[in-house]
Amino acid sequence: EYLDSGWNLNNMPVMEQSVLAHITADICGMKLPWLYVGMCFSSFCWHIEDHWSYSINYLHWGEPKTWYGAPGYAAEQLEDVMKKLAPELFESQPDLLHQLVTIMNPNTLMAHGVPVYRTNQCAGEFVITFPRAYHSGFNQGFNFAEAVNFCTVDWLPLGRQCVEHYRLLHRYCVFSHDEMICKMASKADVLDVVVASTVQKDMAIMIEDEKRLREKVDKLGVTDSERVAFELFPDDERQCLKCKTTCFMSAVYCPCKPGLLVCLYHVEDLCSCPTYKYKLGYRYTLEELYPMMNALKMRAESYNEWASNVNEALEAKINNKRSLISFKALIEESEMKKFPDNDLLRHLRLVTQDADKCASVAQQLLNGKRQTRYRSGGGKCQNQLTVNELRLFVRQLYALPCVLSQTPLLKDLLDRVEAFQQQSQKLLSVEMPSAAELQELLDVSFDFDVDLPQLAELRIRLEQARWLEDVQLASSDQSSLTLDDMRRLIDSGVGLAPYPAVEKAMAKLQELLTVSEHWDDKARNLIKARPRQSLSSLVAAVKEIEEIPAYLPNGVALKDAVQKAKDWLQEVEALQVGGRVPVLDTLVELVTRGRSIPVHLDYLPRLESLVSEVQAWKECAANTFLCENSPYSLLEVLCPRCDIGMLNLKRKQKKLKEPVPSGKKKSTKLETLSDLERALSESKDTASAMATLGEARLKEMEVLRSLRAANEVKVLSSEEDAELKVCLCQKEPAAPMIQCELCRGFFHTGCVPVPSVLQGPRVWLCPHCHRSEKPPLEKILPLLASLQRIRVRLPEGDALRYMIERTVNWQHRAQQMLYSGNLKLIQDKVGSGLLYNRWQATAGQLPETNKVSQTIGAMSFSMPHDWDNRTIYLHSSFSTGQHCIPLHVISTELDELMMEAQLLQVSLPEIQELYQILFTKQSPVLQTEQRSSVGPTNEKASCCRGKKDGISYMERKLKRRFERESFYDEKRARVKKMRTPKKKKLKLNHSKDLCTNKLERERERLFEMQRSSESHLLPSDMSFSEQEDSEDEDAICPAVNCLQPEGDEVDWVQCDGSCNQWFHQVCVGISPEMAEKEDYICISCTGKDSQYRK
């Protein structure tokens, strides 16, 4: 199909549509394709095709070819630019551009206005150049191209213009254009209609020019003429002496210069002889040009020439044989000229077909490669030749009447195949060749499309060699030879052909696999054994496993377990030898690691027991300290607080911004409990832990001082209540409220749990400050003793030690304070009405909203004189026991002592004793709204106050004793049913023996007393005398939260103020010793004195 295709460049110049087919002259440079082997950057200069013909270029394979081209209409412009830039070249060689030696940068041409276009021709693409289109280019790499000229009928006018242009340049013509026209005209019967029409037009121009020129010559005086067959002359013998044009129609020559002639355009340039001596030679007369009816004769002459060429080609000897292309050209010529289909033509076709088949097979053998590197099966491929067949085929090629280009190449292939057979036989004789050599030999055979019997055995040997090399490679690195690798190698080796070396390696590998599986299973059983095996037995197993040249996963795990066990035992022994008390985290980490090690460890049960004891100790300590459902951990309770109020957060942020002074080491941050816990865990000994806790205590005290001062400032602040934020809800103050003894914060009674009004005076702590049960020291000391017996350090233990040291230190300071006698002045200040509360309730002074009557437990305190005497009238439910001791009436030392007393998570008698002294003068009484509005006048108050001041201490003491004795005599008969043993200590906590219904009945009676006092204002002594009417009333004292004590002897105390009422000592928090030594003024009288002093 390709042979007859019009795209075959061998066919294109001689097709019926190509006018070059009518040229019989030898112009192989135009009609036969040229093959171009391009290298990287090899270039072709600026040029146009001969006779301005078309050209077609096909890139068979290789790297792209870059083309630069200028249109045909810009040819003269391009020539002018080159002549302008290189005039000296064109002066000596006017046809320089037709010599393929001129190159110029396309950018230079474009800079002078020449249109230049570029394209890249890739493999498998055609490039066609048009008439008079200058082009140049270069190759981008190694490639192979084919090119040929062709001329279509539209080229004929341009071809005549090209001849005229050649005449001006004095350039030789490749062929005679007039001759071609005449030849085509002579075969008008076989020409295409379009071709005939174009030829007629061009021939008309030719005849017109010839007629004009002959008339010109005749006028010059050339009269002698003769017919000359110019086509019979060689081109170089019929060229014009002046313009080098090939003459065909006519020429002028002179006898003085035989062999020289000129065209009719250059008659004057022939010689110096007179023109009448010149002779005109013509091919046709003007009358002969018109008919041109002798085409058959010209065709017969062409066939004779063709037949002679065919006979010569078929009978040629070996050294004179023509190529297959020449044979095909003869066939094409016969078809083009429509020669008769005789025996000669049929014989030529048969020979050509045989040669073409041989060439195709030869090319297939040369280019053929095996489709797969290792074809399945060892049989001969159906399309493959054996070596003997290849040898016979080469002989056949040499017997053909034509020469094939593949013949020497195929002979070389045969030589290489025979050499391969020799090398294969030599390599197969070796006992065990290397895989590389076998592979190399097989790679060589890959280029042979020939059946080779040695390939099957080479492949078998290659598989065996590769398997043996895999086994050797796997065995070389024992750490990477796994059980799966051995199984895989055995499975792949089973399918190999029998061979001694393979069988030997297989047996050795199988034995190694059996041993490895046995010890791997044994190692797994030792790891999972219950009870766990001893370390010595595992060490012996590890030694056995290490001798096996393979990687055993369970063996590695066993070895790792043994190493971990050794490391664990070493750490435990180092912990014992070190002499330091072990830390709990270290023990827990050791126990956790020891449990995960599949080895029997002698120390592990003891460590587990020790950790269990520590955990039991922590549970016991938690039960001792922590409240039920407490949100705090044991460590939070035992350690100094790190989360005191929002002020702590602000101070922390502020401190972060402060730069560390130069030269000072940055201290450990103890901002949170986790920081403190980490510091305790990282401490090396108890001393460093104590130092850390001491630092935390100082920080706690400092932050708490700031918080207490900030909360106290709220009381003294002149801001409106709406601008203050108190309580857990962070809202404005609103009665009733209660104040925390420790942080001094104010809380709504609806937001926090508050003590009952019947529980007596007690210290109230907010939810933030109340953190534990505060057990007595007697319950804590056994915890410390048990911890010392365990001999394990843990953060909770260090915190407990420090808390006990802190408690003992506080006790020492408290005892010094109690025995120093400095509390008398403080007691007088506290009891003389200097306690204050901003949110006080005063009857009759309520704003227009929130007017509520003062209920039981409400109390009213006077402001200090340095205040602005402004009173905030809010309803308050503070009872006497829940008011805090003012900071400004006690010393700094006592304030520190009392503050740290509440920070201690321990109940101490010294704490109770201090609060007993400070609460002595402020026991709660029932105070009514009428008492605050209808109180004594200033005169009466002055009189009473003068009377009180005039009585000496001893007189008051004697009076109190006599009155108490007489009072006991009168009351003893009435309280016989309620007698209990006499109590000598102040009782601050609520009695747990009082039943709930009794407290409710007492609360109802107190409310009834409140309502009666509001309707009937009675003096205090009248109220007391009315209590003597019944035995039930005798059992109740005027105290608001009377406990109704029972027993053989109940201690009473009389108020030394203006009311002179009697109170149970236990109800007002007074001990018998305090009643003997000090004056007692009830809370009602304390309030009156404060009003009088105003």
Annotate 450-491 with DSSP letters as a single string. Answer: B--THHHHHHHHHHHHHHHHHHHHHHH-GGG-BHHHHHHHHH
Residue 966 domain flag = no
Residues 594 and 462 in one domain: no
Contact 159, 22 (CB under 8 A): no
Low-confidence ranges of the chain (pLDDT < 50): 193, 293-301, 371-380, 646-667, 831-882, 921-1033, 1090-1094
How far apart CA 35 and CA 47 sit, in angstroms, is 18
Residues 104 and 128 in one domain: yes
Last residue in a domain, options 601, 620, 654: 601
pLDDT of amino acid 203: 82
Number of domains, the chain: 6
How far apart CA 373 and CA 686 sit, in angstroms, is 80
Long-range contacts of 515-523 (CB under 8 A, 24+ apart): 515/548, 516/483, 516/486, 516/548, 516/550, 516/552, 517/483, 519/544, 519/545, 519/548, 519/552, 519/555, 520/483, 520/552, 520/553, 520/554, 520/555, 521/554, 523/552, 523/554, 523/555, 523/557, 523/558
Residues 509 and 634 in one domain: no
How far apart CA 620 and CA 783 sit, in angstroms, is 8
Residues 328 and 461 in one domain: yes
Contact 854, 927 (CB under 8 A): yes
Residues 607 and 739 in one domain: yes
Q: Which residues, including other chains, have CB under 8 Å from residue 838's CB and lie 6 or more apart?
A: 714, 715, 716, 872
Q: Which domain holds residue 514?
A: 477-601
pLDDT of amino acid 659: 42
The dihedral through the CA atoms of 320, 323, 326, 328 has a sign that is: positive
Residue 306 domain flag = no
pLDDT of amino acid 361: 84
Half-sphere exposure of 60 (CA within 13 A, CB side): 14
The vertex-368 CA angle with 365 and 370, nearest 5°, equals 125
pLDDT of amino acid 669: 66
Residues 526 and 580 in one domain: yes
Phi, psi of 300 (to 5 degrees): -65, -40
Contact 227, 281 (CB under 8 A): yes
Record the tokens describing residue 235, joined without a space: 């081109």
Residue 110 domain flag = yes
Residues 448 and 561 in one domain: no
Contact 727, 735 (CB under 8 A): no
Q: Counting Cβ atoms within 10 Å, is residue 622 exposed (0-12), middle (13-18) or buried (19+)?
A: middle
Q: Counting Cβ atoms within 10 Å, is residue 1043 exposed (0-12), middle (13-18) or buried (19+)?
A: buried
Residues 445 and 487 in one domain: no
Q: 244: alpha, beta or left, given left = phi > 0 and alpha = psi -120 to 50?
A: left
Residues 530 and 417 in one domain: no
Last residue in a domain, options 601, 631, 654: 601
Last residue in a domain, options 476, 506, 532: 476
Residue 134 domain flag = yes
Residue 866 domain flag = no
Residues 495 and 459 in one domain: no
Residue 231 domain flag = yes
Whole-model pTM? Answer: 0.40
pLDDT of amino acid 194: 53
Q: Which residues, including other chains, have CB under 8 Å from residue 279's CB and lie 6 or more apart?
A: 222, 224, 225, 226, 252, 253, 254, 255
Closest by CA to 397, choosing from 406, 388, 389, 387, is 406
User: In this structure, what CATH number is given to the domain that contains residue 20?
Assistant: 2.60.120.650
Residue 560 domain flag = yes
| Site of tokens 């050499």 | 419
Residues 753 and 895 in one domain: yes
Residues 557 and 697 in one domain: no
Residue 894 domain flag = yes
Transcribe 349-368 into DSSP letters: HHHHHHHHHHHHHHHHHHH-
The two beta strands, 117-121 and 737-739, are unpaired
